[in-house]
Chain A
């Protein structure tokens, strides 16, 4: 049991946490990152290539780790977080204490548990995988169905666990459409004769270069897009899957048999940190993510030392997470300067001088 003091404690060493820590480092603040997994990097350890430019997730992870000089504590399970006179104290399972005037939560999201969509059959039929499982397959270079054969027909199902009141998430996860298209392109590059079908409700490709990806997948890679939400599935004796849905552009029910189904799971809020944070209720939106998502800066000027960044404040891509982390890091810096420094003037003009206490 030991007590360690920092200027800022960041919970979560994913893209947002790492980005914020590197910015705080650069300003000379001492920062510690607490990570529950064995290695830092967050979801970058899960992904293979990143949309829209197919950059290697591993390379981006190395880059972000190299950019930070903060102390990273891994395999940390937080037991309690308490507010003290001088800020926050985070206590872990080993009773070690990490204390700082500022606490930045960057705990990210958790992928939707596809077993909840029982009618689809994830966890029941072996040839159902999620987009997260597929990333793992890419990383392990093992693209095969349950029988170990290279698939010939694959269907991507959009909006699994998104825009669905039946699983309690009526929001759009914003990143699954492009994830599906990116994965379809990667699959076609690795298995050229593969037939890929995407069953979508809407394609929401708001990001820069996303539409390019979409058009490339259609024209160059011949990915077929079918408008209609999957209704039900059945398994054939040979473990192929029959999908039933409406082709809503034709206005008729339709069916399709495939070797494998990839469910594009949505991004859900991770509530595990919620129970630990004091007086947090008013800072959680109706969708379960932190913050209110307002443009109004009124609330942000009343910073009380508790900050949020990354996908814990709503579904975000990696670039959106790091962008937000930069903005939040700036606010943390302002807050710490006010809290830790006294302003003194000398013959050169204004200078910030650090308090020793």
Chain B
């Protein structure tokens, strides 16, 4: 992408009126993501957090709020270790959900550097 010498800012405000088709699609495959209570136990245990800056609960939040760019960047770093699914108090199938998110955005993923 051409460098114009300035970046494009993220939306300053979240518009909850805007629908998130990707969220609906993932929800269809993994209904348990609706049970997320944003407790953050997933982020605390995440091995890729310092690369991605987002635990599972934040992925769900970005997906819901339609912040797809940020979500795709974060998704890339998931190692599918499954620790988030071990600690989740609501029993969410987090790995499956992340896989579905990746399918939505067709991202490849890369190793932790």
Residues on B with beta carbons closer than 8 Å to the beta carbon of A218: 34-35
Asked whether B65 lies within 8 Å of A250 as measured between CB atoms, the reply is yes
Q: Is A43 in contact with chain B by the CB < 8 A criterion?
A: no
Asked whether B65 lies within 8 Å of A255 as measured between CB atoms, the reply is no
Task: Check A256/B16 contact, CB under 8 A, given A215-B35, A219-B34, A249-B38.
Answer: yes
Asked whether A255 lies within 8 Å of B15 as measured between CB atoms, the reply is yes
Asked whether B90 lies within 8 Å of A255 as measured between CB atoms, the reply is no
Q: Which range contains the number of A residues in contact with the other chain?
A: 10 to 19
Residues on B with beta carbons closer than 8 Å to the beta carbon of A226: 16
Q: How many residues of B contact A (CB 8 A)?
A: 21
Residues on A with beta carbons closer than 8 Å to the beta carbon of B65: 247, 250, 254
Considering only residues 245-263 of chain A, those with a C-beta below 8 Å from chain B are: 247, 249-250, 252-257
Considering only residues 232-276 of chain A, those with a C-beta below 8 Å from chain B are: 247, 249-250, 252-257
B58–chain A nearest beta-carbon distance, Å = 8
Asked whether B61 lies within 8 Å of A250 as measured between CB atoms, the reply is yes
> Complex formed: what's the CA distance from A224 to B27 in Å?
12
Residues on B with beta carbons closer than 8 Å to the beta carbon of A227: 38
| One of A215, A219, A224, A255 near B17 (C-beta < 8 A) | A255
Asked whether B17 lies within 8 Å of A257 as measured between CB atoms, the reply is yes
> Complex formed: what's the CA distance from A247 to B62 in Å?
11
Asked whether A222 lies within 8 Å of B13 as measured between CB atoms, the reply is no
Q: Is A197 in contact with chain B by the CB < 8 A criterion?
A: yes
| One of B12, B31, B32, B38 near A252 (C-beta < 8 A) | B12
Residues on A with beta carbons closer than 8 Å to the beta carbon of B31: 219
Query: Looking at chain A's contact residues, is the secondary structure mostly helix, strand, loop, or mixed?
Result: strand
Asked whether A254 lies within 8 Å of B38 as measured between CB atoms, the reply is no
Asked whether A249 lies within 8 Å of B16 as measured between CB atoms, the reply is no
> Complex formed: what's the CA distance from A309 to B78 in Å?
56
| One of A215, A219, A249, A252 near B13 (C-beta < 8 A) | A252
B44–chain A nearest beta-carbon distance, Å = 15
Q: Which of B32, B34, B62, B65 has the most CB of A within 10 A?
A: B34
| One of A222, A225, A250 near B14 (C-beta < 8 A) | A250
Residues on A with beta carbons closer than 8 Å to the beta carbon of B12: 252-253
| One of B16, B34, B67, B90 near A222 (C-beta < 8 A) | B34
Bitwise, B49-88 to A at CB < 8 A (1) or not (0) is 0000000010001101101000000000000000000000
Known: A219-B35, A255-B14. 12 other contacts (CB 8 A): A219-B34, A222-B27, A225-B37, A247-B16, A249-B38, A250-B62, A250-B65, A252-B12, A252-B13, A253-B13, A253-B14, A255-B17
Binding site for B on A (CB under 8 A): 197, 215, 218-219, 222, 224-227, 247, 249-250, 252-257
Ordered nearest first, which 7 A-B pairs have the shortest CB separation?
A254-B14, A256-B16, A218-B34, A219-B34, A257-B17, A252-B14, A253-B13
Binding site for A on B (CB under 8 A): 11-17, 27, 31-32, 34-35, 37-38, 57, 61-62, 64-65, 67, 90
